[in-house]
Homo-oligomer: A and B are copies of this chain.
Amino acid sequence: MFLVRNILSVVVVFISVQLASAQTGFDPLPYVNPFIGTSNYGATNPGAIAPRGMASVSPFNVAGRIDLNPLEKDSQWLSNPYVHENQFLTGFSHVNMSGVGCPELGVIITMPTTGELETDHIEYGTTYSEETAEAGYYSAKLDKYNVKAEATASTRAGVSRYSFPAGKSNVLLNLGLGLTNEQGAMVHVVGPDEIEGMRMVGSFCYNNAEAAYPVYFVAKFSKPADDFGVWKTPYKYEGLESQWMGYNGKTRIKKGFTREVVGDSIGAYMTYDFKEPQEVEVQIGVSYVSIENARENLAKEVGDSTFEEVLAETKNAWKKKLQVAEVEGGTNDEKTIFYTALYHTQIHPNTLNDINGEYPEIATGKIGKTEGTRYTTFSLWDTYRNYHQLMSLLYPEEQLNMVRSMLEMYDENGWLPKWELNSTETFTMVGDPAAVVLADTYLRGLTDFDVEKAYEAMLKSALDTTNNPLRPGLKEYINNGYLGVDGEVEGPVSTTQEYNIADYAIAQLAKELGKKKDYKQFLKRSMSYKKLYNPETKFIQPKNSDGSWFAEFDPLAGANFAHNPGYIEGNAWQYLFMVPHDVNGLKKLMGGNNQFEARLDELFEKDQFDMANEPDFAYGYLYNFIPGKEYKASEKIHELIDTYWQNLPGGIPGNDDTGTMSAWIIYSMMGIYPITPAEPVYTFVTPTFDKIKLHLNKDFYENGELIIENNTVSKKEIEVQIDGSSIKRPLLNLTKDNFPKKIKFL
């Protein structure tokens, strides 16, 4: 339904060379600032990680001492192991999430200290200074101990280097402390240079605590300890018996203990007595399968390598990854915003499988084995909107692996993922986003996956009305076209809109696969949002199941995540335009272009637009759907970029959402945006940079590159030329088969 121009492309046969053309001399690493997003609830962390790493080493500064840590993890809703404005560090966590909205992982915490052994993080924690972070590297000086702590990581191992002064020193491995709400750990000191164990994690977003699961580790120390042991702090017993318990609630130091210990508040320590300043390197391999696999991951990825060697390898991996885009022009800050965003898109989805291919299957608890990469952390409610589109463009081989991982989950579990984390379905957020990702990937021309299975899986979640975990209320949705506010489903308006978008994606794939009946059925289903459009209020708003409007409707309710009948994480304003598959239909409902424009203006004027959340974050681009008003899109997008994105810790407007916000800024700074999920349609605004060269995978994009050239004089009025031909409207369907060499902005 959008203006489409076919682009002729020369078909050249290549032998598969992964990103062969990407290896230029350009070094993007100086433009990565891992501190961006570590404040303002961006929820990223400046820790060291390899691209899509299972392990990472993040400074952990969110526990205790609210005087020094204003954003203390238990004092509010806080979802990250590190906050830039906090000052009290209690260690370095070795499995971490980036940019999510709920606390999880942030465990297997090491901490170097000096002097007498102290195992209580409130006592051993310290302020820090001289903090630096790069892609794959983090360092800080721990003030209390005069210890320099440095960290890097391979895919499945964190590697740290602690530079101790002379004297008594300790390395603590705290398994009690953590960001997750799950408790329980096991630790076993294997010898003076090795500790193994596990930690329970899970219950992400306070959901599905039944599925909480173990993460295993093996820690190796470059120098054998002079002394070692385990500590355990038991819960305080309140009963009569406590009068005989001299040890009640007190920390026990199990010196030299080499048996297994389990408990909620436990840890192990290595103690040294250095005659002169010394470095200790600590390598920690992790696995979601077993201690043996953690040991193998560590041996094969790190082995005898030094800290410097691991660091060099990881930096090189990042360099290759980020060289996919080469930008010219723009300020240093703009480049840093851009490359840091790209960096942030390469953290999740992350690797789940061990180096031997093993991983825990979803839900079944069986150990599966993959030949490629099994990805995890699918925040699909976020990522279906733009993230996977960007991956299809820049890293198509990874996007295909992600799709294959999603289909493996269907094989294992009988269902596609919704918000999958480490092979648990966390049931976070609403809708049926997997269908969109699968259809979108296929329709962008990445077809090397079992599309019939994908289609079957999509149909199952769209049609199975018995114990369907993905689409609660499906029967009512099918019967009535919407979910009633008097029903069981939270956020019935939002959910109806999400189901519409998923159904539209199914329709698009059905059309492509020649399934005409399905196409018609799902296209029809995808338009049912109209039943919730109230021409009187001009809102998409909650209805009772009997068809009457919900009486207590307030379009302003629900801001700041307050509970709001009808909507999830938003209000009626924020969901008003969330019909990306039928913008013209919505426009018509509203009375045409002028009314649509006025309503969009009103949204921004009334400050009801939320840059920090997904439902409305592409609304600025909707001006491109109003002939003659396209300039407002460029104007608005640049205003948003300037307002919300900075080369500063607070430089992401809220949770990065596993790279979804980052995908938004990457696209927006490039001046192109995939406006409709499951349709390869791009829309355009003035780019930020003068020139962007994308080095594309020739297996998927035959040209091997896309050049975006920005020759505009005004940021408002733009003309877009695709391979030399001007397009009439700033909306274009681009698949890998009609993919241009150059997009020129005039």
Among A209-217, A294-302, A475-483, A593-601, which stretch is in contact with chain B?
A209-217
- Bound Cα distance from A651 to B244, whole angstroms: 28
Tell whether, in the assembled complex, residue A260 and residue B366 are in contact, meaning their CB atoms are under 8 Å apart.
no
Report chain B residues within 8 Å CB of A234: 182-183, 209
Report chain B residues within 8 Å CB of A198: 260, 262
- Bound Cα distance from A212 to B260, whole angstroms: 10
A365 located at the interface, meaning its Cβ lies under 8 Å from any Cβ of chain B in the complex: yes
User: CB < 8 Å: which of B74, B206, B211, B257 contacts A246?
Assistant: B206
- Bound Cα distance from A10 to B654, whole angstroms: 97
Render A677-717 as a binary contact track against B, CB cut-off 8 A, 1 for contact.
00000000000000000000000000000000000000000
**Interface residues contributed by chain A, number (CB under 8 Å):** 50
Known: A198-B260, A203-B247, A261-B200. Contact between A254 and B181, CB under 8 A?
A: no
A288 to chain B: closest residue by CB? B259
Tell whether, in the assembled complex, residue A262 and residue B186 are in contact, meaning their CB atoms are under 8 Å apart.
yes
Known: A206-B245, A206-B246, A241-B74. Contact between A184 and B261, CB under 8 A?
A: yes
A207 to chain B: closest residue by CB? B246
Render A244-266 as a binary contact track against B, CB cut-off 8 A, 1 for contact.
11110000111111111111100
Tell whether, in the assembled complex, residue B253 and residue A210 are in contact, meaning their CB atoms are under 8 Å apart.
yes
A185 located at the interface, meaning its Cβ lies under 8 Å from any Cβ of chain B in the complex: yes
Question: Apart from A214-B262, A264-B264, what are 5 other A-B pairs with CB-CB below 8 Å?
Answer: A77-B241, A181-B245, A210-B254, A256-B364, A256-B365
Report chain B residues within 8 Å CB of A81: none
A274 located at the interface, meaning its Cβ lies under 8 Å from any Cβ of chain B in the complex: no
Report chain B residues within 8 Å CB of A15: none
Give A residues with C-beta under 8 Å from B: 73-77, 103, 181-186, 198, 200, 203, 206, 209-214, 232, 234-235, 237, 239-241, 244-247, 252-264, 360, 364-366
- Bound Cα distance from A181 to B237, whole angstroms: 9
Q: What would 30 A/B residue contacts be, using CB atoms closer than 8 Å?
A: A73-B241, A74-B239, A74-B240, A75-B240, A77-B244, A181-B237, A181-B245, A182-B234, A183-B234, A183-B235, A184-B262, A186-B260, A200-B262, A206-B244, A209-B252, A210-B252, A210-B257, A211-B254, A212-B232, A214-B261, A214-B262, A235-B264, A257-B365, A258-B365, A258-B366, A259-B360, A259-B365, A262-B262, A263-B264, A264-B264
- Bound Cα distance from A351 to B254, whole angstroms: 25
Known: A183-B235, A262-B184, A263-B184. Contact between A255 and B200, CB under 8 A?
A: no
Tell whether, in the assembled complex, residue A262 and residue B185 are in contact, meaning their CB atoms are under 8 Å apart.
yes
A366 to chain B: closest residue by CB? B258
Q: Is chain A's interface secondary structure helix, strand, loop, or mixed overall?
A: loop
Report chain B residues within 8 Å CB of A75: 239-240
A183, A246, A253, most chain B CB atoms within 10 A: A183
Tell whether, in the assembled complex, residue A259 and residue B213 are in contact, meaning their CB atoms are under 8 Å apart.
yes
- Bound Cα distance from A203 to B198, whole angstroms: 24
- Bound Cα distance from A366 to B707, whole angstroms: 66
Report chain B residues within 8 Å CB of A254: 210-212
- Bound Cα distance from A259 to B289, whole angstroms: 9
A209 to chain B: closest residue by CB? B247
Report chain B residues within 8 Å CB of A200: 261-263
- Bound Cα distance from A214 to B188, whole angstroms: 11
Tell whether, in the assembled complex, residue B255 and residue A210 are in contact, meaning their CB atoms are under 8 Å apart.
yes
Report chain B residues within 8 Å CB of A360: 259
Tell whether, in the assembled complex, residue A241 and residue B181 are in contact, meaning their CB atoms are under 8 Å apart.
yes
A182, A256, A263, A365, most chain B CB atoms within 10 A: A263
- Distance in angstroms from A229 CB to nearest chain B CB is 9
Tell whether, in the assembled complex, residue A214 and residue B366 are in contact, meaning their CB atoms are under 8 Å apart.
no
Report chain B residues within 8 Å CB of A365: 256-259
- Distance in angstroms from A208 CB to nearest chain B CB is 9
Tell whether, in the assembled complex, residue A214 and residue B252 are in contact, meaning their CB atoms are under 8 Å apart.
no
Report chain B residues within 8 Å CB of A186: 186, 260, 262
- Distance in angstroms from A205 CB to nearest chain B CB is 9
A75, A206, A237, most chain B CB atoms within 10 A: A206
- Distance in angstroms from A545 CB to nearest chain B CB is 25
- Bound Cα distance from A12 to B360, whole angstroms: 69
- Distance in angstroms from A609 CB to nearest chain B CB is 27
